Chain A
Amino acid sequence: MATASVLNGDGSALPIRVSEFGKSYGKVVAVREASLDVVKGEMYGLIGPDGAGKSTLMKSIAGVLAYDAGSIEVFGQKVDSEESAELIKSRIGLMPQGLGLNLSPDLSIEENIDYFARVRLVPPSELEARKDRFLKMTRLDSFRNRPMKNLSGGMKQKLGLICSLIHLPELIILDEPTTGVDPVSRRDFWAILSELSRAEGMTALISTAYMEEALRFDRVSLMHEGRFLASGTPEELVGLVPGTMVELRCPNQIEALGVLREYYAQVEPRGEWVRLLADTADRDKAKSEAISFLPPDLQPTEVRTWDPDLEDVFIALLRQREQTEGEATSAAGTVETYAALPEEQMERTAIEAMELTRIFGSFTAVDHVTFQVKQGEIFGLLGANGAGKSTCIKMLTGILPPSSGEGQVSGADMRFAGQEIKERIGYVSQAFSLYIDLTVLENIMLYAGIYGVPKDLRPERAEWVLNVAGLSGRGDAKVASLPMGLRQRLSLGCALVHQPSTLFLDEPTSGVDPVGRRQFWDILYRLSRVHNVAILFTTHYMSEAESCDHIVLMFAGRVVADAPPESLEDNIENQVGHLLEFRTSDPPNALGLVTSIFPEALAYGSRIRLISSDPTGDEQRIREILTEHGIQVLSVTPKPISMEEVFVHTVTSLERESEKAKGAA
């Protein structure tokens, strides 16, 4: 039974109460000492990289996984055996991880929903109405009879959501519902979820690997390697690390980076900027201090400041913990020496796609894609799963022949190029290309052989790769024993063993924790800035876009944007307006009122965001309508436009245009 201290406002037991939870798989500890209370009607987020223990915790709460330590109560019911777990199942819904993996590929949308409804004994009379409502809301109603396997990633996840909600559970548990889903579908997904949880008074526990999604939740817990780093509202978490992000544009990025690292713990390159976390909340002080550390020849031409975001906080919290607990940080890699590029190659375009097209049956995976990558440039190919990124890379590297168009690397078509030219490419594939039962050194030697590194050079190169990957002295360790971040650096090192002038990276940072990701990026920056390597990489993390020199956004096989990230963001700001964030005293009702005048306004946890072309006028109108209904506006903050918004607005405006064109015809 629940005690007085663990009740909701209305006196009922808390939907979730976890204390001192622990679970190991054999010798591997997945989660330790996790405690968590979720209040009725709350949207609670578990945020962390792969292997942080999110799934383990969620499955245990849903009663489908046995655990070793601590206790779990769901709606006041102890979940500690198969029998007791059965008692909560009528009140919960679970959506396991994986794009559409919990659905039946050969059944249609409607058949999938019907199956879940019948298993849950939803009365047929109610089912029809509910199904209509959900399908309309998710804009899936025109695809009722389409087999699930022919849906896009975003549609699959929306269907998965409907299926786990069809019996209107009081608590819904969603395991990484947005991973690999394009930003437009992701936005839809969050809108549907927040509307439903409001309408039905539903409680939701949701995990995500995207730090920027934290703002969608009422409260979040940051998880790393099986532990909670911190819990609270997103504001509270950001408040844990008082500080200012300072961004400086310096004449020599790499040198400035080196200088500033001596004074700050968190410094990294971002596009043409150097970004650092100053531990003072006073922005002017933070700015002047940072400038004062730089010698005259590195003085910045431009400086700007931001509030730290959750990813910075996550890293700062990790750093603090490491300092107090004395845990060893894995050394970052360095690239000191590198093969010099031949003169004539500097002039050439490193990678060029010319009207590249690839058709599989009736499906166009890549549709007339054109772009160029220069030597020394970090070029990001962004898009959701299935947008055509990997197919593009496969055509450029000559693995897959294009249906039409041409792809060139260093001026040569890789399908017909000789071995000598092929050896100028390095490639890290989406799936790990390492042999995990071999040691680190055996893997490096294998790749040295594959890439044709001369025998007498190999021992020296192996040592060099170990340095690049930050694995010096660990050459005899089995790859299977390395954590994700290190493995990823090793596969990068292996792809560099022949010191190529062009590097292809296919989702190299997917699932890697923020620290590992930043160390990975450090290496990429050095390669591009100092050694002029051209780097083409793909990712579905929109936040990584800001680290690129140039990006191409892909949607359904087409290029929908092609420019440096900043100019894309500026474009949107000029075209559609500025991003405003409102905090109010009554978030659920406020959203309803705001969407009545701004249909595109979105809930971000307890906050409301909208893009406004007339910020002062719109702010006034919203304040008026809210005060009219007795809702207080706590704050209105302008926010920078992110790549996420760029993507959403570009795609939705393109969709609108094509609909208009259809209507005109």
Chain B
Amino acid sequence: MNGRRIIAVASKEIREVARDKLFAVLAFVLPSFLMLLLGVCLSMDVENIPIAIVDNDNTPESRDFTSRFSSSRYFNLVSIAYDDRELDPLLKNNVIRAVIIIPAHFGKNINKGRPAPIQTLLDGTYTSRAQITKGYISSIIASMNGNLLAQYISRIKGIPLDRAQIAVRPVSVDSRYLYNPSIKSVLGLAPRLLVLILYMVPPLLTGLGVVREKETGSIFNVYASTLTRGEYLIGKLIPYVGIAFLNAIVLLLIALLVFGAPFKGSMLFFLVSTLAYVVSTCCLGLMISTLMTTQAAAMIFTAIVTQITAVNFSGVMVPVGSLSPGGQKIAHLFPCMFYTRIIEGTFLKGTGTAQLWLNVLILVIFSIVLFTISYLQFHKRTNA
């Protein structure tokens, strides 16, 4: 192992990356761009659902009912109509997601103590959104029922309305969301995006590193030189680890400053474990690079492997605990899940070395295994 030769390879590589426009964009712009894009677009909060109400009754009761929707932050009342046929095109063109139809005699039925049915039409194309919408509508109706009941009791029994309210709802729920008090999904998502982006971009860059030289033929300079296999691979790895780490810090700042994510753990521990993570993801790229012979193949292969595993097994989009037993086993074969735990711990929970050291160790082991495979795969004397 000769340090000067490693530096020679690394410094050449970093200059090439910085001067190649496409490569420089991939290396320095793409990660931040992905972070901002996904942070804004991937928000899983369901708010401001556009709805319309058809009021066939037009009484104080029906207007009270309508106002409960128009004042809710979960709904955006787009239109109040008196004929449900007007709303068909709005549903078809995705202008509204749900329609609530208040029949005639709605107010009269309530006042007479008779059942007062209403109808809701939901856009069911996206199931989970439809279910969430239905849940919101049901809870608004439940709260209205509760109020009506309380009014009725206070009227009949002659007790004050607030006591009647308590009598109607003896058990009340007061939820406090730990780690993300306002349950704004972006606060939890932004830190987790580091897992995805640092898993998809660095291997792509590193993956091209060795293959590019194979494709142009400059790899023969390496083969015919006194560079050892280890020196060459380490020299190739260092610049990309450096770039990835730099990106990690930029992404951290975006998460904290742009998206306002909390950070409760130890910064030092976070940086050390992030370094371990990017080394492991760069080694993944290096391994692919030594296996492939063309840049196109390396790129497609890296993209497929990292995207599929990142989306399914990283614990970012779907918690690993809710995967099937088989899926959970697969998740342990890739480094991203372990880093997700570190991210959740340091950003949201404030846990540190004591609880998370094993995950860092696993990342180091990933790096060692992937680098060893690369080393065994890479030969300075080839067969073709």
Contact = CB atoms under 8 A, between A and B. Distances in A.
A163 B9 CA distance: 15
B378 to A, nearest CB: 11
A118 B380 contact: no
Nearest to B379: A82
Contacts of A59: 220
Interface string B205-230: 00000000000111011011111100
B220 A107 contact: no
A308 interface: no
B5 A94 contact: no
B383 interface: yes
A118 B5 contact: yes
B19 A102 contact: no
Contacts of B8: 115, 118-119
A337 interface: no
B380 A104 contact: no
A387 interface: no
Contacts of B225: 89, 119-120
Interface stretch (A33-41, A62-70, A366-374, A559-567): A62-70
B16 A94 contact: no
Nearest to A64: B223
B263 to A, nearest CB: 38
A63 B226 contact: no
A96 interface: yes
Interface string A72-97: 00000000011001100110111011
Contacts of A89: 224-226
A338 interface: no
Contact of B226 (A102, A107, A115, A120): A120
Given A106-B19, A107-B12, A65 B4 contact: no
Interface residues of B, number: 28
Interface string B350-384: 00000000000000000000000000000111111
A93 B225 CA distance: 7
B7 interface: yes
A64 B220 contact: yes
Contacts of B383: 65-66
B227 A64 contact: no
Interface residues of A, number: 36
A98 B16 contact: no
Contacts of B5: 118-119, 121
B15 interface: yes
Given A102-B220, A103-B218, A115-B8, A86 B380 contact: yes
A102 B216 CA distance: 7
A24 to B, nearest CB: 10
Given A66-B382, A111-B15, A101 B218 contact: yes
Nearest to B20: A106
Contact of B380 (A82, A107, A164): A82
B218 A63 contact: no
Contacts of A86: 226, 228, 380
Contacts of B7: 118
A116 B8 CA distance: 8
B5 to A, nearest CB: 6
Closest 3 CB pairs of A and B: A118-B8, A94-B224, A106-B19
Interface of A: 25, 59, 62-66, 81-82, 85-86, 89-90, 92-94, 96-98, 101-104, 106-107, 111, 115-116, 118-121, 147, 163-164, 173
18 contacts: A62-B220, A65-B384, A82-B379, A86-B380, A93-B224, A94-B224, A96-B217, A101-B217, A107-B19, A115-B12, A118-B4, A118-B7, A118-B8, A119-B221, A119-B225, A120-B226, A121-B5, A147-B19
Given A119-B8, A121-B5, 9 more contacts: A63-B224, A64-B220, A65-B384, A89-B226, A96-B220, A102-B217, A111-B15, A118-B7, A119-B5
